[in-house]
A = this chain, B = another copy of it.
Amino acid sequence: MVDKEEFGSFITPEALKGMPIKATFLDEVTWDIPHQNWGVREWNQDFKAMKKMGINTVVMIRAGLGKWIASPFQTLLKKEDVYYPPVDLVEMFLTLADKYNMAFYFGMYDSGKYWQEGLFQKEIDLNMALIDEVWTKYGHHKSFQGWYLSQEISRRTKNMSKIYAEVGKHAKSISGNLTTMVSPYIHGVKTDQVLAGDKALSVKEHEEEWDEILDNVNGAVDIMAFQDGQVDYHELYDYLVINKKLADKYNMKCWTNIESFDRDMPIRFLPIKWEKLLLKLEAARKAGMENAITFEFSHFMSPNSAYLQAGHLYDRYCEHFNI
């Protein structure tokens, strides 16, 4: 007989031990992940599943991307040619975060078009006004506990760090110094740029470039959570160690953004193999990461996901941590 109780007999004797995931992004205004078309009932179920797994922080990935926005923000509706949204996602997420006693971080608007030198100020201005509107309208929620600077920068886009600095400082100043977070990516072997022929950054080059970038945003960013999927599994630990060293130097918390989707498959993207997630969680634990946030629970780790592999990943995760 093989039943659940016997599962332990197939676990290998020296199996890795990961660190727990306590946060997730909410990817509703999305770039490349197909939508699940959930209403509040489905989101309520999903917050419940997050909570059970140990998640205490949800980060709305962005307030908008190009013409798509998460809520009817007047500052954007008036100044930009955006679509009027059917649902107030910010109010819904905050209501659910309140209910489940979680922290909610608000992600900034990404115009998708003001990233070029000379246009930065427009992106900054839009977000400055948005922050004011959002804090006035939603700031009363007890779960509103942070800001996420959503522009994903890397070496090629490091001038964007100006946006981080100005926007981050403003958000902190009007909200009683709430936490700010960024999630940049490493210029590694799995970036589109390197896959297209560019050279990946060595660990040493990575350290030098980010030392400069972080110097630019000093005082504006509290949490640095590098994405962990652009480097190979055996390379990850070395980059994480550098990230921690840099975070310490600039008085930031160092989280890891652990991707729960699989970058190695022809279908872009489905849930990651548990073995790969575990390798990354072990590397993060060993490198001293202070927390792990995943991109993202609802598509790739949730028992409610349309990708049924995600529910099995949830089960494997819960088994590993005896949840």
Contact = CB atoms under 8 A, between A and B. Distances in A.
Contacts of A174: none
B86 A275 contact: yes
Nearest to A71: B12
A249 interface: no
A307 to B, nearest CB: 7
A142 B32 CA distance: 45
A2 interface: yes
A13 B319 CA distance: 44
Interface in A62-111: 67-68, 71-72, 81, 83-89, 91-92, 95-96, 99
Nearest to A10: B92
A279 interface: yes
A196 interface: no
Interface residues of A, number: 68
Interface stretch (A37-45, A148-156, A179-187, A215-223): A37-45
A45 to B, nearest CB: 10
B308 A274 contact: no
A314 to B, nearest CB: 9
A270 interface: yes
A71 B267 CA distance: 26
Interface in A261-315: 262, 265-275, 278-279, 306-309, 312-313, 315
B36 A83 contact: no
B14 A275 contact: no
B86 A233 contact: no
Nearest to A268: B266
Contacts of A234: 67, 81, 83
A282 to B, nearest CB: 10
Identical subunits present:
3
Contacts of A204: none
A6 B95 CA distance: 11
Contact of A84 (B12, B85, B267): B12
Most buried by B among A37, A89, A313: A37
Contacts of A2: 40, 44, 95-96, 99
8 contacts: A7-B39, A9-B91, A11-B87, A16-B86, A34-B262, A39-B315, A83-B279, A85-B275
The 9 closest A-B pairs by CB, nearest first: A37-B312, A35-B273, A306-B308, A34-B270, A10-B92, A266-B268, A37-B313, A7-B40, A306-B309
Interface of A: 1-4, 6-7, 9-16, 32-42, 44, 67-68, 71-72, 81, 83-89, 91-92, 95-96, 99, 233-234, 262, 265-275, 278-279, 306-309, 312-313, 315-316, 319
